[in-house]
Amino acid sequence: MVRIGRIVCPVDFSESSRRALERAAVLAGWYEAELVALHVAPLPFDVDSMTRDLQSFTAKVVAKRRGLQLIVRSGAAALVILDVAREMEADLLILGTHGRSGVRKLVLGSVAEKVVDEAPCPVLTVPSAAERSPDPPLFRHVLCGVDFSEASRRAVELAIFLAEEAGGRLTLMHSIEWSTDDRHPVPATFGVNLYRQSLLTDTRARLAELVPAETREWCQVDLRAACGDPAAEILRAAEAEGADLIVVGADRPGPIDRMIFGSVAPLVIRQVACPVLTVGSRCPGARHEAVPRPAHFAGPAERRN
């Protein structure tokens, strides 16, 4: 079992952060986790006044929630968010974004990327276009982009847990960056098409190795290999199939790779309309506890009935 015991949610009093806090509250209730609302204030600021503002904002979103902690800090947004996540030993960070139009000032551009890249725990980004969190907050279709990095393998672990819990559908996909040009087709005698099919078959086999046998008893598992830009393929599949959640690893590329290719996680976060769960390269991995599945898990027999 993956353990989610403490959730930290930065808010800037915007509508997008309101949506993120709503989802954080529902998730915290479902997992019986502590919820921490964090506001990063600009300098100069009055701590008492800002705390009252934070209290007023959270009271409208999270009515009478016991155990809610409020933190007001000042400084560079990304650094403060990361510091608080480490201090609180957070299991999950939840950030509100503006979806297709980019992220709000609190987590804009390099700030968002820094949080995703360096967070000590998984990060759930919630675009303002995302639907309100259902109660229970189950993700019926989890789409996980896989690049076989260490962070990606941790992402698969979380994706499996969430899909099993919902008794829904898990899609693992890997995209091979394959250049095609229809104007200059390659003759079949070159064997390129056979090589391409061999790569796709091998990729599906590698994806299958990531899925424990018992997972198929708890949820439907689809393994998908594609050719093309990874971010574009993830976005295309998520929109076409109505994914409730995208899960990706966020291994940090080197400066040259970032300049030329960018990073898949930020590209997906900026353009998708559903929540995205990222596991950064600095994330130590999900905590586990050897406990039985809770009552709200619907076992295979119950789901068949």
Question: Cis ω on the peptide bond leading into residue 136 (within 30° of 0)?
Answer: yes
The per-residue pLDDT for 109 is 52
Interhelix angle for 110-118 vs 77-87, to 10°? Answer: 20
Q: What gap in Å lies between CA 62 and CA 277, rounded to an integer?
A: 22
* Phi then psi dihedrals of residue 118, to 5 deg: -115, 5
* Nearest CA-CA partner of 83 in 10, 25, 2, 158: 10
Q: Are strands 34-41 and 123-127 parallel, antiparallel or unpaired?
A: unpaired
Q: Are the C-beta atoms of residues 130 and 19 closer than 8 Å to each other?
A: yes
The per-residue pLDDT for 60 is 87
Q: Are strands 141-145 and 245-250 parallel, antiparallel or unpaired?
A: parallel
Give the pTM.
0.84
Q: What is the DSSP string of the chain?
A: -B---EEEEE--SSHHHHHHHHHHHHHHHHHT-EEEEEEEEPSS--HHHHHHHHHHHHHHHSTT-TTEEEEEEES-HHHHHHHHHHHTT-SEEEEEE-GGG---GGG-THHHHHHHHH-SS-EEEEETTSPPPPSS---SEEEEE---SHHHHHHHHHHHHHHHHHT-EEEEEEEE-----TTSPPPGGG-HHHHHHHHHHHHHHHHHHTS-TTHHHHSEEEEEEEES-HHHHHHHHHHHHT-SEEEEEEPPPPHHHHHHH--HHHHHHHH-SS-EEEEETT-----B---PPPTTS--HHHHH-
The per-residue pLDDT for 259 is 38
The per-residue pLDDT for 3 is 81
The per-residue pLDDT for 98 is 65
Q: What gap in Å lies between CA 199 and CA 300, rounded to an integer?
A: 33
Q: What gap in Å lies between CA 305 and CA 296, rounded to an integer?
A: 16
Longest dimension (CA), the chain: 75
Per-residue pLDDT of the chain (305 residues; tens, 9 = 90+): 578 999 999 998 888 889 999 999 999 989 999 999 999 988 787 888 999 999 999 998 887 666 799 999 999 899 999 999 999 999 999 998 864 444 444 444 556 678 888 899 999 999 877 877 887 888 999 999 999 988 899 999 999 999 999 999 999 999 998 755 555 555 555 577 888 889 999 999 999 999 999 999 999 999 999 999 999 999 999 999 999 999 999 866 554 444 333 478 888 888 888 999 998 766 654 444 433 444 555 544 344 34
The per-residue pLDDT for 201 is 93
Which domains does the chain possess?
A: 1-137 (3.40.50.620), 140-284+293-305 (3.40.50.620)
